[in-house]
Structure formats: C-alpha cells, structure tokens
Amino acid sequence: MANYELQTRAQKYTEDFAWKNDFGGGLNGGLYRDNLFAGMVPGTVRFDDATVGFQARYDLKPDGWFGEKSFLKYKAVYGEPDLLVHGIDISGWQAPDDHRQNATDPKEIHYDKMREVGFNFVIVKTCQGVGSVAKHAVAHINNAVNDGTPHSEYTYATPWTDFKNDAVPEVDSFVESIEVVGAGPIKPVLDHESKGYKRKKDGDKKLHECHWGQEMYDLWRGIRGGGRAEYIDRMTDWTHQWLERFESLFGELPMLYSYPSFLNYRIHLEGKILQCKLWLAGYTRKNPLKKWNIDPRLDMVLQQWTSKGDERSKSVYSKGLDLNKAIYGLRPIMRDNG
C-alpha cells in the first residue's frame, strides 16, 4: 500500500493513542501500524528504533512500544502530534518552472503541483564547499516563497579540499548563500556524507590533487600515521569546527544530513554532532520494512526515503526526485529562532 494511502488511513484513527500520526514511520517506509495493519491491541502502536530512541532520550522504558507514557512525554516535548509531512529536496539539477519558456521541459520543477499531490516542504541546495550560490537556488526559493511552501537551504560539505582541517571558509560561504536567498522557516542543513577524499572519474581513478584528500585516503587505507582512528578523529574535529562556526554566525545548529555507514564508521558521535537534528538518507523504497542500525542518541526527525520519486512526484518533476518524510511533523525541523 502506498505511503499516502496509509497516511489517509492514519487520519481516520482518533482513539486514545492510535492517533493521527505516522510516528516513527520514517524507519519503516511510512507504514502506519494501526490496529488492523499490525494486529495489535487498541491503544498501542509499535514502531521500533525511532520509538526506542525517543524513549531513551527521555528516560522511558525503551521497549519499542509507543504507549501512554511515551505519548504524554511526546506531547510535553512537542505538543500535539502533527500528521506525517512529505516533502522534496532539490538542487541545480532541477530547473525552476519559470527557467525556460518550454513548459514541458522535463527538468522543470512545477511548484503549482506540489501541494496538490501532498508535498508540503522543500529543501534547496544553495552552496557546495566554498564558492558562489548554487545554480537555480535563488529561483527555487523565490518560487517556494511565492507558493507559500516552507523551505530550507542545504550545503554539501567538501572536507577533501585544500582547507586542511579548516571548515570556516565553507561555513562562511554557506551563511552568505543563505543571506542571498533568504533563510526559510526550516532549519538549514549540513549535508555531511563526503568521505574526506575524492577520486577522479577517469580510467586510472587517481585522486584529485589535494593534500588533505590524499592524507585522508591513506589514513583510511591504514598506510599513513594513525590509520582509521586518526581519520575518524580528523573528520570529527572538522565537523565540530563547522558546527561551532555555523552556530556562532547563525544562532543555532543546523540539521545534519548523512547516511548510516558514515554515522557508524567515519565519525565520532559526540558533542554538538549529537545536538543536531538528524536527516537520514535511509532508502526504503524497495524494502518498506527495512530498519536502520544507527545510534539511538541521534535525534532523527527527517528521512530521505528514495531518490527515484513515486507516482505522486511525476506531476512535479518528470524524472527521479528525492522524497522525504518529516516523521514527527514539521515542528521538530523548524528553526529555533525563525
């Protein structure tokens, strides 16, 4: 059954704690486990890792069941639960719908169709590493504002560059890009998935001529210095420097976007990293029941569940599109000082 059909079913339930929300469904491909669907007793909804993580943060019994105590604690922290909210993220690969005269251009994003099919937020790439504002970013965000769609901005981190262990230039470029396009009501995002080195796409797969990239690659392979332990320490230090600089300039921490293996193996989960809300790249399009083995201390509030789009997204963008679910509603991903 499609995610939006399950969401519609969820809206019909108002009894006690089988409430109107796909709570934790981000780890299950959007499956609302109501009584009929999961065959469970009235008043309880089971969710797995998302629930266990929430319970652990608030000293509740981490049993995977979202019962009365967990529900009351959720209300105390976030207020009345919102409905699951679907949205998209886009970059310069997609053109805004006013970019060309040809209205049937397959690379155009049609904002007028977004709300119609149930996409209620958009996250736009405005920067990558150090440089100018990303292609189409201004037009994308202007269209989102004109359409009344809540938006945010993201930057793709490039810690393989020649700014050896210096994240400051990247943060400054990102903040400048936000100032150019105008900050949205949703938290900005640090897209942190680079391994710290990058290969060329030519036949011999040589590394880019970048000092730190070569060092990080050698560390990961275990042929330099402290090996993988030093690699992880460096990546963690770079990340903390990035987050501290951003918080000092913007007034709050960003959301952190990454994928499970990066979080599990390439960085220490500590300090400000754990203070960030997590946007997980966890694809569940082919396997809706797939579970993600991530640290329960991570505050996962958003999931990118496919890069291929679905039936709904074809009217917004004819090709593959990144689709996301705000699994606790929009409130937890909104800016603190927005």
C-alpha distances (whole Å) from 91 to each of 108, 160, 261, 319 are 11, 21, 24, 13
Looking at residue 94, what is its pLDDT?
86
Average model confidence (pLDDT) for the chain?
75
C-alpha distances (whole Å) from 255 to each of 1, 43, 73, 274 are 30, 32, 23, 10
Q: What is the rounded CA–CA span in Å between residue 151 and residue 156?
A: 17
**Among 60-69, 114-123, 320-329, which is the least confidently predicted range?**
60-69
Q: At residue 29, does pLDDT exceed 90? A: no
**pLDDT tens track for 281-330:** 998 766 655 667 889 899 999 999 999 988 889 889 888 899 999 887 88
* Residue 338 domain flag: no
Q: Is 36 exposed, middle or buried (0-12, 13-18, 19+ CB in 10 A)?
A: exposed
Query: Residue 217, Cβ neighbours under 10 Å: how many?
Result: 21
Same-domain check for residues 50 and 131? no
In the chain, how many domains are there?
2
- For the chain, the straight-line distance linking the first and the last C-alpha, in angstroms and rounded, comes to 36
Of the chain, the percentage scoring pLDDT greater than 90 comes to 37
Q: At residue 213, does pLDDT exceed 80? A: no
Looking at residue 155, what is its pLDDT?
97
Same-domain check for residues 189 and 313? yes
Q: How confident is the model at residue 334 (pLDDT cuts 50, 70, 90)?
A: very high
Choose the most confident range, by mean pLDDT, from 129-138, 256-265, 283-292. Answer: 256-265
Same-domain check for residues 249 and 205? yes
Same-domain check for residues 67 and 150? no
322 phi and psi, to 5 degrees?
-70, 125
Choose the most confident range, by mean pLDDT, from 62-76, 80-94, 252-266, 301-315. Answer: 252-266
Q: What is the rounded CA–CA span in Å between residue 257 and residue 241?
A: 17
Same-domain check for residues 36 and 119? no
CA dihedral 234, 240, 246, 252 (to 10 degrees): 160
Looking at residue 212, what is its pLDDT?
55
Q: What is the mean pLDDT of residues 160-167?
A: 66
Looking at residue 202, what is its pLDDT?
46
Interhelix angle 137-147/168-181, nearest 10 degrees:
50
Structure pTM?
Answer: 0.73
Choose the most confident range, by mean pLDDT, from 78-82, 195-199, 320-324. Answer: 320-324
Q: What is the rounded CA–CA span in Å between residue 320 and residue 308?
A: 4
Q: Which residue is associated with the tokens 């490039």? A: 158
Same-domain check for residues 23 and 116? no
Same-domain check for residues 62 and 111? no
Q: At residue 267, does pLDDT exceed 60? A: yes
C-alpha distances (whole Å) from 98 to each of 109, 140, 155 are 9, 9, 23
Q: At residue 40, does pLDDT exceed 50? A: no
43: Cβ–Cβ under 8 A, 6 or more apart, which residues?
15, 16, 17, 18, 67, 68
* Nearest Cα residue to 184 out of 223, 218, 140: 140
Looking at residue 61, what is its pLDDT?
74
Q: At residue 205, does pLDDT exceed 60? A: no
152 phi and psi, to 5 degrees?
-145, 175
| 154 touches 123 (CB < 8 A) | yes
Q: At residue 100, does pLDDT exceed 60? A: no
Same-domain check for residues 63 and 102? no
**Among 45-54, 155-164, 220-229, 256-265, which is the least confidently predicted range?**
45-54
3-state secondary structure of 325: strand
Q: At residue 68, does pLDDT exceed 80? A: no
* Residue 240 domain flag: yes
* Residue 168 domain flag: yes
Q: What is the mean pLDDT of residues 118-129?
A: 94
Same-domain check for residues 59 and 179? no
Q: How confident is the model at residue 338 (pLDDT cuts 50, 70, 90)?
A: low
Of the chain, the percentage scoring pLDDT greater than 70 comes to 66
Same-domain check for residues 216 and 304? yes
Q: What is the mean pLDDT of residues 74-103?
A: 70
Domain containing residue 251? 87-333
Q: Which residue is associated with the tokens 């938290």? A: 187
Our measurement of the distance from residue 203's CA atom to the centroid of its chain's CA atoms, rounded to an integer in Å, reads 33
Q: How confident is the model at residue 335 (pLDDT cuts 50, 70, 90)?
A: very high
Looking at residue 105, what is its pLDDT?
52
Same-domain check for residues 68 and 197? no
